[in-house]
Copies of this chain bind each other. A is one copy, B any other.
Amino acid sequence: MAAATSAYDALLAHCRETFLLGSTSALLSWDQETYMPKGAGDVRSQQLALLAKLAHERATDPRVGEWLATCEAERGHAADSDHAANVRGLRRDYERATKLPSKLVTELAETESKAQQHWAEARARSNFRRFQPWLERMVALQQQKADCLKKPGQSRWDALADLYEPGMNAADLRTLFAPLRQRLVGLRQRLARGKTPDESFARVEIEEPKQEAFVRAVVTAMGFDFARGRIDRSAHPFCTGTGGDVRLTTRFHKDNVQDALGSTMHEGGHGLYEQGLEPQHLGTPLGEAVSLGIHESQSRLWENHVGRSAAFWQWCWPIAQQHLGAACTGHTPESVSCASNVVQPSLIRVEADEATYDLHVMIRFEIEQALIDGDLGVGNLPDRWNALYREYLGVAVPDDKHGCLQDVHWSCGLFGYFPTYTLGNLYAAQFAAAADKALGGLGPLLAAGQFATLREWLRRHVHVHGRRYTPAELCQRVTGTPLSSEPFLAYLDQKLSAVYGL
């Protein structure tokens, strides 16, 4: 027994130290996107590659396999005990890590850092051809990675997707997505018969410092702890870090305060998840988010179920008036909340409304499967992209910047990641419905600015568990039912019908 306990302790000490390398890499990547001077790009790629190599060496240390075997042989640990959950999580990580050769890991890290820099340049010039060789290299590396990871009979894409959402596969997603697509299209057609809300608030010009003060006030009210995190600017908003060091980024457009608010509440939702993990588990599976789908449920819940609700705007209106001043003149909380819910097929995923957002995701889902399976050459990506935008959303893509260069993901090597955005929307709706029921209605809480009640409910039911349960188990525990798109469609239908006066 003493030996077994000591194997578990050794295992945890080891993974906590590996976490230090991982969190160092995360900070370097954050810096790359926020403050790093351009001239540092080459060295940064090398630093990240070296850290990835060192982290991979640690993660594949044969002693980890021995400690795991010892821990697994131990009896008397309930399936949801700390011990069992950590051992299960570390086993999964170890199996995954040992399948990847060190050389590939280093090459991936260096290519990710470089490709991201080239993507940013290509995007700025709206020129896919500049990025194409980097994406070709990245796809080739991801194919190699998938070949290393995939189990017998598993597709390459499924092997990659499982990294982000344990248990997710393309077949299940297609089953979920096909009817969802149909019903979203149906909803849009129905809304076309209603009255489109006045969108002018979203177009008012507001200076950046005012917008910044406003979104900071909101994210502070949400409960984001600035003693354990911060907000900066980046081209593409993101959240990174964990525990005492959670870093959000956002962005500002002079004529779109809704974008800044939405991005900040979105990343703030991610940040609350990271800050809501149990500090004593930092650096171990129990101190990590369970999946990207669940992570995204937290960001979308705050961005959409809170931030685009009529109740929220009742609370928010005086705050908006205080910070945005004259920009609020002629608007009301009702008009502004309606303005934040206009449904309009568009080109950019992160700016999409809730009724069309998932169509953007489905397009990427189709394309990345084709890229990874080799059915689509990288050179044909813009054409395929543009064709699918016509088919799914009925919009014409004017250039690469507003087309296939809009997202950072593929340049960072994130293939198999996009569907987690839609899973996040579905989880968010299902969690919000459960919270609404448990807390006696979210509306009055939001209208009163009592965000702590919702935040604590999420913390207790989702955050604190880390990787104790699978995403599916967690969903069942939190909501009493498996994941379904019904709560999402019901929520959208109810909210948008009201907004469109139907």
Contacts and interface: CB of A to CB of B under 8 A. Distances in A.
Nearest to A275: B39
A457 interface: no
Contact of A23 (B43, B246, B282): B43
A28 interface: yes
B230 A41 contact: no
A345 interface: no
Interface stretch (A46-54, A393-401, A459-467, A476-484): A46-54
A42 B229 CA distance: 14
Given A47-B23, A50-B17, A54-B54, A245 B28 contact: no
A282 B8 CA distance: 43
A391 to B, nearest CB: 43
Nearest to A36: B245
B20 A47 contact: yes
A332 interface: no
Contacts of A230: 35, 37
Nearest to A228: B39
A244 interface: yes
Interface of A: 17, 20-21, 23-24, 27-28, 31, 35-44, 46-47, 50-51, 54, 225-230, 232, 241, 243-246, 282
A109 to B, nearest CB: 12
A38 B229 CA distance: 8
Given A24-B28, A27-B28, A31-B31, A37 B227 contact: yes
Contacts of A229: 37, 39
Nearest to A243: B43
Nearest to A21: B50
A186 B225 CA distance: 56
Contacts of A282: 43
A20 B46 contact: yes
B225 A20 contact: no
Given A35-B230, A228-B39, A20 B245 contact: no
B37 A51 contact: no
Given A24-B28, A28-B27, A37 B228 contact: yes
Give me the 10 closest cross-chain CB pairs, A-B, nearest first: A39-B244, A40-B245, A39-B228, A40-B244, A20-B50, A20-B47, A39-B227, A24-B47, A38-B227, A37-B230
Contacts of A228: 37-40
A209 to B, nearest CB: 10
Interface centre among A20, A38, A40 (most CB of B within 10 A): A40
A243 B39 contact: yes
Contacts of A21: 50
A405 to B, nearest CB: 23
A27 B31 contact: yes
A35 B42 CA distance: 23
Q: Pick from A35, A37, A50, A51 the residue with the most CB of B within 10 Å.
A: A37
Nearest to A283: B43
A167 to B, nearest CB: 30
A85 B20 CA distance: 35
Contacts of A245: 36-37, 39-40, 43-44
A51 B39 contact: no
A244 B41 contact: yes
The CB with the most chain B CB atoms within 10 A, among A20, A21, A241, A282, is that of A20
A41 B50 CA distance: 24
Contacts of A17: 50
A225 to B, nearest CB: 7
A50 B24 CA distance: 10
Contacts of A232: 35
Given A24-B24, A27-B31, A28-B27, A244 B50 contact: no
Contact of A39 (B23, B31, B225): B225
Contacts of A51: 24
Contacts of A38: 227-228, 244
A55 to B, nearest CB: 11
A261 to B, nearest CB: 22
28 contacts: A20-B46, A21-B50, A23-B43, A23-B47, A24-B24, A27-B27, A27-B28, A31-B31, A35-B232, A36-B245, A37-B227, A37-B228, A37-B244, A37-B245, A37-B246, A38-B227, A38-B228, A38-B244, A39-B225, A39-B227, A39-B228, A39-B245, A40-B243, A40-B244, A40-B245, A43-B243, A43-B282, A44-B245
